[in-house]
Structure 1
Amino acid sequence: MGGLFRAPKPVVVPPPPAPAPAPAPAAPTPEDQGQQARAEARARAGRGLAGTIATSPRGVLDPVVAPPRKSLLGE
Structure 2
Amino acid sequence: MSRTVEMHLRCLRVVVVRVGDRSFSFTAGESIHTESSRKYDFDRIDTLVLKAGRRLEHFWTDAKERFAEVGLRVMSR
- In the superposition, the TM-score normalised over structure 2's length comes to 0.26
Q: Indicate the structure whose relative CO is greater, using CA pairs within 8 Å and at least 6 residues apart.
A: 2
More strand by share: 2
- In the superposition, the TM-score normalised over structure 1's length comes to 0.27
Compare CA radii of gyration and give the structure with the larger one: 1
